[in-house]
Structure 1
Amino acid sequence: MFLPRGVLSAFGFAILFHAQVFADNTVTIGVYYETLNPNCSEFFINQLLPAYTRAPGRINVTLVPFGKTVVNSTVPLTFICEHGEKECEGLKIHSCAIALVQDQISLLWLAECTIRNQTLPGARLIECATRLGIEWRPIADCAKTTNGSQLLKVNGDKTKELNPKLKNVPTITLNGTADGVLHE
């Protein structure tokens, strides 16, 4: 029996992923993204969070918010974000949340909720964090300080280390390797 190439490829990837998860018991997924990119939002809402909630003990997620952002100046540390200042604010909020929210499922729910609507990133943080029972004030305070900028720069350094280099967002890595990197 012959299967169409697309079906065979999808089935093959599912088998490889399944084997990897059960062989090592966990898989680490790196997500390199931007907060105002519609492909990133769709990935979080329709793929990442649903997959994680099905196997939370078998998937470790490393979020790296930065994308195609550019460090504009190092003194003071400023950025040019692909989708403007609101995205820079959202990226700092996500960077601070990653540093401050220790529970991975809470972090992923917060990231998914805030990425749905970033027109007012600070207000969205308050709304989502309050609904999820997460203290929003430390995240908001961090995002407004040089600490938020430093955390975002660290994410930029991680993004620059990707090989092959980031071309599209989201970019997904599997177990820290860029071999077979998935680009949305």
Structure 2
Amino acid sequence: MFLPRGVLSAFGLAILLHAQVFADTTATVGVYYETLCPVCRGFFINQLLPAYRQAPDRITVRLVPFGKTVINSTNPYIFTCEHGETECEGLKIHSCAVSLIHDQTTLLNLTECTIRNQTDPETILTECATNLGIELKPIADCAKSTNGSQLLKLNGDKTKELNPGVKDLPTITLNGSQNDESQLRTNLWNEICKVLQPKPSTCP
């Protein structure tokens, strides 16, 4: 039996809409942080990476390295970072990595590795990039150039858009919301599970 073309089109549209309604939902996690903040370091190691690895195909992470940095001048760029000049260097390295590394898993592995030890950001970048097989030179060159400063300034603009603004670090958003932020810092995977449908089997 043949159906009229209009009926077939309507049937196809219904199937498409059904698929869209029941498609797997995703979670977007925004992380506003500093590289020498101990709590930020702990969040990367104990919350962000473990949660991401539970469902990497359904979690998008937006890293915004800036925190409570102050921009004193834009010509040239001069920053005052909460934990000193070493942190400014680390923030530029992270800003450049975010801009240059397009594979999310690779980026998160590098930022988690480097944030573990920020006493010498350039040295730890070299070690981590080498161990992870990431091309070092573009990131290092960017961080030392005006481009690194421009990227850090742009992260400052993104940080200022938060409402409410930064109070405690890291500041975490889930699908744009800062609700239950204390839970996002300490039980990120549980909070992500609340917005994923269907829930992954590893959800509590």
Counterparts of residues 97-116 of structure 1 (less than 5 Å): 97-116=97-116
TM-score, with length taken from structure 1: 0.85
Which residue matches 1:78?
Answer: 78
Which residue matches 1:177?
Answer: 177
Change (3 A) 1:163 1:24: farther
* Aligned-residue CA RMSD (Å): 1.5
Tell me the amino acid that sits aligned with residue 115 of structure 1.
I
Per the TM alignment, residue 55 of structure 1 is displaced from its structure 2 partner at its CA by 0.6
Give, in whole Å, the separation in 2 of the partners of 1:86 and 1:120: 7
Deviations 1:104-147 (A, max 9, x none): 00000000000000000001001001100100110000000110
Aligned residues: 163
Q: Which runs of 5+ in 1 are unaligned?
A: 1-21
Q: Which runs of 5+ in 2 are unaligned?
A: 1-21, 186-204
Per the TM alignment, residue 25 of structure 1 is displaced from its structure 2 partner at its CA by 1.9
Q: Which has the higher strand share?
A: 1
Could you say what secondary structure the match of 2:178 adopts? strand
Per the TM alignment, residue 83 of structure 1 is displaced from its structure 2 partner at its CA by 0.2
Moved over 3 A (4+): 178-184
Could you say what secondary structure the match of 1:178 adopts? coil
Which residue matches 1:118?
Answer: 118
Change (3 A) 1:71 1:24: farther
Could you say what secondary structure the match of 2:168 adopts? coil
Which residue matches 1:42?
Answer: 42
Change (3 A) 1:131 1:23: same
Per the TM alignment, residue 74 of structure 1 is displaced from its structure 2 partner at its CA by 1.2
Give, in whole Å, the separation in 2 of the partners of 1:133 and 1:52: 20
Give, in whole Å, the separation in 2 of the partners of 1:181 and 1:43: 12
Could you say what secondary structure the match of 1:177 adopts? coil
Deviations 1:75-130 (A, max 9, x none): 10110000000000000000000000111000000000000000000010010011
TM-score, with length taken from structure 2: 0.77
Determine what percentage of the aligned residue pairs are the same residue.
71
Tell me the amino acid that sits aligned with residue 44 of structure 2.
F
Per the TM alignment, residue 181 of structure 1 is displaced from its structure 2 partner at its CA by 3.8
Which residue matches 1:19?
Answer: none
